[in-house]
Structure 1
């Protein structure tokens, strides 16, 4: 299928930006909407055969996916996958330039999938910002490069292949952004100075406290005043501490008969090794644990307004993670004023300070987790005060209104005109 090209504004007064991702929007959706509302010509392109459209002031289009024929378990897969994505994206760039005369002032691309590798080859005059989310390594560079975990020869080679497309971005990017200090710390010392840590930003107007919130949906309704512990992330997997969460719920259910636990997550593994098709971590944990399913409510991720309401009604929100990319759900819960119980891992503790902006626990100790939750149930006023401090921290450091304005200024500096484009 050939994707029809959109008309591109020739209004020279408008700065233009092209946002590139593999999936629709990703980290750039809300930034794109903010820029469009503030006078930018914004195009968002991702890997899909779609008819271009305008949505919230953004021109949305797809580039034709190119499929690698190499199996995922082959160590060559990451390189071929990136090359195929680079080809699909570069074909779009070429058509935009030579059929429409479109030369964006700025391109921002999510690094690792290959979509930004040829930006400068087609548009050498364009300023390119590479968004770096993760560097695959078993080394702790801050600890002198010592090994963090045992590695097999196969895993070492696969990680090296994953990193090659990431490293290749540094030779053409005019700026390299990374969302957290911890994620930036994963990069080797030779590359770390090239990274700027710039938050993704949190919509603190949307994610805000409501002390009167309770759960009254068609999928779940609980009486006002019901103690609720919540868990919400993309999937159900060990990397995000889902088994540990349910082990703590088992302890809590033995201790209290008034507590309800609510999970919003899809029953799949998003990060980490996949399970056989006939099982899942939800099914495994249900088999392992003695849970009261009348007080455990597990649902797929819901629409954002209902997810927000769940956070507002939470008495204690659980966010666990192994050292990896930090989920937006942590900062969104903090912006909502949740009392967050988080794992003692650097992914989490960059944002969460024990007994200041949340509770930091050993997620593998179900009793310690249960103690932290139970404290919030028994000390409601104090827990809400901690949640208020969490929101204040997010407002100061991560409010999207401040973050997006900073990013816009950085982009304008890159294109050499702080007054409005070329």
Structure 2
């Protein structure tokens, strides 16, 4: 079975599934956008191709950006597909593409017999479709920007054999006519790798903490309001004044992945350090780390905070639960889909800093109750999202799709 994964940014959520397929005898190829063409093959036999596309220079006030970027990306991808077909005779049995950036728009035109699955993460809208109500006022430019961002996403529905979405909440953002075609297919979590370790300690060359330290953790790609970082830091400032027996570790880049960009020398981390009265000696902020070190942070955590506005759920949430973290999550729809309050985690109003600090304090003081919630969280992920189960079901699904093609 030959499968081609398409994504704008590296393997992202396809990484573990692609590797599992390669290790189970599939011929796996991955293609993504990069500054210059390249062609490499790793130890698992996964071939990675990179094709040039425009730099990501989006501007908040440029409503034409999404379509222009998608058009140029689609052209680069189409040129690559044509070269693979004409020069190598390559015809994948399946293509699985992360949509919205134009990368999969011509798959069926180049390979008409190939089965094509479009992976949808988000639909940009100001409408709550289930209640037929607008959520918030928007400027004409913002309204138009959303409509244009959705055009490449909607265009996938006329060529894809199947349309996947990882969570029910994310699917709920699509208009009913499109949502009816979406299948909820979880990404899967490697629970063998992301597992608890009661003996885990923070002992790196970049940070060392005493063995029995109460540790509050926060780990995401960027520091930004959409993931509740400013609210988290306000709670840390409050809690530091209440007790002196805990350390806080933040693992993230001080950059914005989602939402309006800041100036190059600005960041929400810098703003928090400037605005809040924080004990810097007990606050440790570090950039992204290798996965093994990131896992050790989760395993050593006493309380792990995951906040988000209603948006795409980070796969780090399920990874933290699989690692046995006590997750304190925002009481928002994407988190409620995964966490049951006081059963598999703790839900708080992330805008209420006193409530957040109070619940972190409670976690530190109630290790027995917390241990039960941690165990429930991992059990929940093992039951619904464990990679071996999810990947085997996906592989069987894909084989059946090709066989019935």
Q: TM-score range by the shorter chain?
A: over 0.9
Q: Provide the TM-score with structure 2 as the length reference.
A: 0.97
Task: Report if the CA contact (8 A) 2:326-2:373 is conserved.
Answer: yes
Residue 66 of structure 1: how far off its partner (Å): 4.6
Corresponding residue of 2:15: 29
Helix, strand or coil for the counterpart of 1:395?
A: helix
Residue 70 of structure 1: how far off its partner (Å): 9.0
Q: Among residues 237, 252, 262, which one is paired with 1:250 in the alignment? A: 237
- Residue 325 of structure 2 corresponds to residue 338 of structure 1: yes
| Per-residue CA distance 1:63-103 (angstroms, 9 max, x = gap) | 23256999663212111111111111111111111121111
Task: Report if the CA contact (8 A) 1:33-1:57 is conserved.
Answer: no
Q: Which has the higher mean CA deviation after the structures are superposed, 46-55 or 306-315?
A: 46-55
Residue 278 of structure 1: how far off its partner (Å): 3.1
Q: Among residues 192, 195, 201, which one is paired with 2:179 in the alignment? A: 192
Helix, strand or coil for the counterpart of 1:213?
A: coil
Cα gap change, 1:237 to 1:296, in 2 (>3 Å) = same
Helix, strand or coil for the counterpart of 2:5?
A: strand
Which runs of 5 or more structure 2 residues have no equivalent in the other structure?
none
Task: Report if the CA contact (8 A) 1:215-1:310 is conserved.
Answer: yes
Residue 273 of structure 1: how far off its partner (Å): 0.7
- Residue 160 of structure 2 corresponds to residue 173 of structure 1: yes
Q: Provide the TM-score with structure 1 as the length reference.
A: 0.93
Q: Among residues 52, 67, 76, which one is paired with 1:88 in the alignment? A: 76
Residue 288 of structure 1: how far off its partner (Å): 1.5
Distance 2:393 2:319 in 1: 20
Q: Among residues 275, 278, 282, which one is paired with 1:288 in the alignment? A: 275
- Residue 372 of structure 2 corresponds to residue 385 of structure 1: yes
The ranges of structure 1 where at least 4 consecutive aligned residues each deviate by more than 3 angstroms after the TM superposition are 66-73
Task: Report if the CA contact (8 A) 2:224-2:258 is conserved.
Answer: yes
Corresponding residue of 1:46: 32
Task: Report if the CA contact (8 A) 1:67-1:84 is conserved.
Answer: no
Corresponding residue of 1:4: none
Cα gap change, 1:278 to 1:66, in 2 (>3 Å) = closer
Distance 2:396 2:27 in 1: 15
Q: Among residues 353, 357, 380, which one is paired with 1:370 in the alignment? A: 357
Corresponding residue of 1:401: 388
Residue 279 of structure 1: how far off its partner (Å): 2.0
Task: Report if the CA contact (8 A) 1:268-1:280 is conserved.
Answer: yes
Q: Which has the higher mean CA deviation after the structures are superposed, 72-81 or 185-194?
A: 72-81
Corresponding residue of 2:138: 151
Corresponding residue of 2:85: 97
Task: Report if the CA contact (8 A) 1:230-1:261 is conserved.
Answer: yes
Q: What CA RMSD, in Å, does the superposition of the two structures yield over aligned residues?
A: 1.5
